[in-house]
């Protein structure tokens, strides 16, 4: 077959196929979902589909025309099939996106049906102590939990043979600080030493620093554990250093504090002679209470509550302060102890068991912060 005849047959076939092609692609453009796509595929390529009938009709063509016309009809089928695949991929992606949006789950944990958090009694007591002494002009001071042996014991006039320095009473660490053994502090007194050293250094520079008046709450550690003792506990200490500080200042300060803290304006307070290496004279402080009922300020019994005394001259000298010109007083009280007394908590270990029910009973609202008017 010559080229002009072949070209004439192709032109005639293209004109014949054009309406079918327009109908097929119009059907594809009308598809909006996968179900409609399957219906369109059957309409075009099914056993009785538009394109399928064209291919079947090619068998009735003459032997001369069949290769040319069949090739054009196969090309139309390939275009329709390719468009179906492209359309299927697009619709499947859209369907998956819609399904994921519709089936999205909130996998975050629901809020726990628990009441608002509470302030722990230990934290509350420290806030109250700081508020009361803050009104007396005391500044808050803090220090590290790990100290060297000299700052924790030696500077406080505690001799090497003192029982408190034995390993059965103190947690020694397998480390050293400045060639001195490191310990978990057994009291917050090292903060007093640090403060006095800094104060003496400032004085040596030629300036007269303001008198020391600090309150030092914090964690302390001792090898002891029972219903009234814990290896880790909290303590508050106070220190006042100046030129004219007397025992009368110490007594007045502690009486005001105890009466404010226990909210007993007439709370009986008694001072008894005692012994501490770091104070001279030293005194135990007792408050009136009823052994029978446990009521604070009632009955004829006495309960030891804290230790106190005038700072030992050796301690002042160890910190570079001349004891001939300066003197002061110090005191220390266990925070757990006075908290148990004030709120009727029977066992020290309950403070550290993380029992939410216990905290709901003894805890305090975080919105009700301690301030001075609550105790005085």
- Per the domain annotation, does 297 fall within a domain? yes
- Per the domain annotation, does 140 fall within a domain? yes
Final residue of a structural domain among 102, 130, 163: 102
* Residues 182, 35 share a domain: no
Write down the pLDDT at residue 254: 96
How does strand 172-177 pair with strand 212-221?
A: unpaired
Q: Please identify which residue in the block is written with the tokens 């007594």.
A: 251
- For residue 143, the Cα-to-chain-centroid distance in whole angstroms is 21
* Residues 185, 42 share a domain: no
Write down the pLDDT at residue 125: 93
* Residues 157, 78 share a domain: no
- How many other CB atoms are there within 10 angstroms of residue 196's CB atom? 24
Final residue of a structural domain among 75, 102, 129: 102
- Per the domain annotation, does 116 fall within a domain? no
Mapped onto helix, strand or coil, the DSSP state of residue 232 is: strand
Write down the pLDDT at residue 24: 82
* Residues 25, 61 share a domain: yes
How far, in Å, CA of 121 to CA of 331, rounded? Answer: 22
Entry pTM:
0.66
Q: Compute and round to an integer the Cα radius of gyration of the chain.
A: 45
- Per the domain annotation, does 111 fall within a domain? no
* Residues 127, 72 share a domain: no
| Residue 304, both tokens | 């030891």
Q: Which domain holds residue 55?
A: 3-102
Write down the pLDDT at residue 373: 47
Q: Report yes or no: 135 and 376 within 8 Å, Cβ to Cβ.
A: yes
* Residues 126, 79 share a domain: no
How far, in Å, CA of 237 to CA of 333, rounded? Answer: 6
- Per the domain annotation, does 72 fall within a domain? yes
Residue by residue, pLDDT tens for the chain (376 residues) are: 577 777 777 777 778 778 878 888 888 888 888 888 888 888 888 888 887 887 777 777 777 777 877 787 788 788 888 888 988 888 888 888 888 888 777 778 777 766 677 889 999 999 999 999 999 999 999 999 999 999 999 899 888 877 776 766 788 888 888 889 899 999 999 999 999 999 999 988 887 788 999 999 999 998 876 666 678 889 999 999 999 999 999 999 999 999 999 999 999 999 999 999 999 999 999 999 988 888 888 888 999 999 999 999 999 999 999 999 999 999 999 999 999 999 988 888 888 888 888 888 888 888 776 765 444 4
* Residues 362, 282 share a domain: yes
* Residues 148, 252 share a domain: yes
* Residues 135, 70 share a domain: no
How far, in Å, CA of 23 to CA of 44, rounded? Answer: 9
- Per the domain annotation, does 61 fall within a domain? yes
* Residues 175, 46 share a domain: no
| Total structural domains within the chain | 2
Write down the pLDDT at residue 376: 41
- Per the domain annotation, does 144 fall within a domain? yes
* Residues 127, 36 share a domain: no
Residue 131 belongs to domain with CATH number: 3.30.930.10
Final residue of a structural domain among 51, 74, 102: 102
Write down the pLDDT at residue 274: 94
Q: Which helix (H) or strand (E) holds 45?
A: helix 34-45
- Per the domain annotation, does 115 fall within a domain? no
How far, in Å, CA of 157 to CA of 42, rounded? Answer: 102
* Residues 303, 161 share a domain: yes
């Amino acid at each position: 077959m010559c080229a002009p005849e072949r070209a004439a047959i192709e032109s005639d076939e293209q004109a014949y196929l054009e309406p079918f092609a327009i109908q097929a692609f119009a059907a594809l453009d009308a598809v909006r979902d996968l179900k409609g796509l399957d219906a369109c595929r059957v309409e075009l390529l099914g056993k009785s589909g538009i394109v399928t009938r064209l291919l079947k009709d090619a068998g009735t063509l003459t032997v001369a025309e069949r290769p040319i016309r069949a090739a054009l009809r196969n090309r139309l089928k390939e275009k329709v099939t390719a468009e179906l695949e492209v359309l299927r991929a697009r619709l499947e992606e859209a369907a998956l996106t819609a399904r994921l949006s519709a089936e999205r789950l909130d996998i975050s944990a629901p809020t726990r049906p628990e009441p608002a958090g509470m302030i722990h009694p230990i934290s509350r007591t420290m806030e109250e102590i700081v508020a009361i002494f803050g009104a007396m002009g005391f500044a808050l001071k803090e220090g590290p939990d790990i100290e060297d042996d000299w700052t924790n014991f030696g500077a406080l006039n505690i001799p090497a043979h003192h029982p408190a320095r034995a390993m059965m009473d103190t947690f020694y660490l397998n480390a050293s600080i400045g060639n001195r053994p490191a310990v978990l502090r057994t009291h917050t007194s090292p903060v007093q030493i640090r403060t006095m050293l800094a104060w003496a250094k400032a004085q040596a520079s030629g300036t007269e620093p303001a008198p020391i008046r600090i309150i030092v709450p914090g964690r302390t550690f001792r090898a002891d554990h029972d219903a009234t003792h814990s290896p880790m506990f909290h303590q508050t200490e106070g220190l006042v250093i100046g030129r004219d500080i007397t025992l009368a200042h110490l007594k007045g300060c502690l009486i005001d504090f105890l009466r404010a803290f226990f909210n007993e304006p007439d709370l009986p307070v008694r001072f008894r002679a005692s012994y501490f290496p770091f104070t001279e004279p030293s005194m135990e402080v007792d408050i009136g209470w009823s052994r029978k009922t446990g009521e604070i300020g009632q009955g004829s019994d006495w309960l030891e509550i804290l230790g106190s005394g005038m700072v030992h001259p050796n301690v002042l000298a160890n910190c570079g302060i001349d004891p001939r010109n300066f003197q002061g007083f110090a005191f220390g009280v266990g925070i757990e102890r006075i908290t148990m007394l004030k709120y009727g908590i029977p066992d020290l270990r309950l403070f550290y068991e993380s029992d939410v029910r216990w905290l709901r009973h003894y805890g305090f609202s975080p919105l009700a912060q301690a301030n001075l008017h609550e105790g005085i």
